[in-house]
Amino acid sequence: MKAKLLQSIAAAALAFGAGAALADEDAELVINGEIEIVTKTDAPAHMDGMSTIMSGWRFRDSTTQMMEMDDFDNPAMLAVEDAREKWSTPVGSEDKSCADCHGEPEDMAGVKPVYPKWNEDAGEVRTMQMQMNDCRENRMGAEPWKYDAADALAMEALLSSVSRGMPVDVAIDGPGQSTWEQGKELYYARTGQLDLSCASCHEENYGNMIRADHLSQGQINGFPTYRLKNTKLNGVHSRFKGCVRDTRAETYSPGSPEFVALEMYVASRGNGLSVEGPAVRN
């Protein structure tokens, strides 16, 4: 077991040392020929040691990039269409739909860019999925959706799609600052048998190859994301869970306070990039 672990660490170290060019450093993302997406911009002031931030789209090969450039080719848009139908369908003991309170999905443009955010009434930082479930339970009298499961991800993808092109703008001050600080601590904490942190890959080694993966900066402006690897929409907490698991550490569950804090911090690292989800990744 120890020998295999050392071999894995050695392989990772060799891969980290092998630099790789971006798929196309000059590529620009325009969706449907009209939605301009900022995939590279100056890093927000609160980020130390990085001057430029880049969407994961820039680290994918040209074939994968092209799938996101047209909604007809983006497999995630099937889930978005399903969510549109659910949006206007009354459910629960109150026989209410999302549309009854919020109008058309397009009326929700501008919501996704600011999440996670502090909720004054609840006295906590909430992710978009948490807020959606609050509506389902307390306004619609419906069962909450399982975190990062198909229904929740489809609805989050719909709400993301109507904000595409808008800049991510997650607040890091005010009453939510302590949650943000917790997320930052988790981001830089080394864990597991491989003794890796989020920063080990996505800050110190982005652009390099680890096995067959072209390491990105780990930006989450494209979530929910359709992954070709498992042919379905993926939530950011599930991605966090997979990353922590890959360090061979005990991991948290989607929807846990730890992952809420981590999402808030990581989302703020993308302030200035465009909302891009639902994106397509490997």
Residue ranges for the binding site for heme c? 98, 101-102, 135, 198, 201-202, 243
Between CA 187 and CA 201 the distance in angstroms is: 11
- 3-state SS, 239-252, equals HHHHHHHHCCCCCC
How many angstroms separate the CA atoms of 55 and 199, rounded? Answer: 16
**Three-state helix/strand/coil letters over 46-113:** CCCCCCEEECHHHHCCHHHHHHHCCCCCCCCHHHHHHHHHHHCCCECCCCECHHHHHCCHHHHCCCHH
Q: Cα–Cα distance between 253 and 255 in angstroms, integer?
A: 6
Radius of gyration for the alpha carbons in the chain, expressed in angstroms and rounded: 19
**Which one from 29, 132, 162, 243 is the annotated catalytic residue?**
243
| Residue 243 a catalytic site member | yes
- Active-site positions? 243
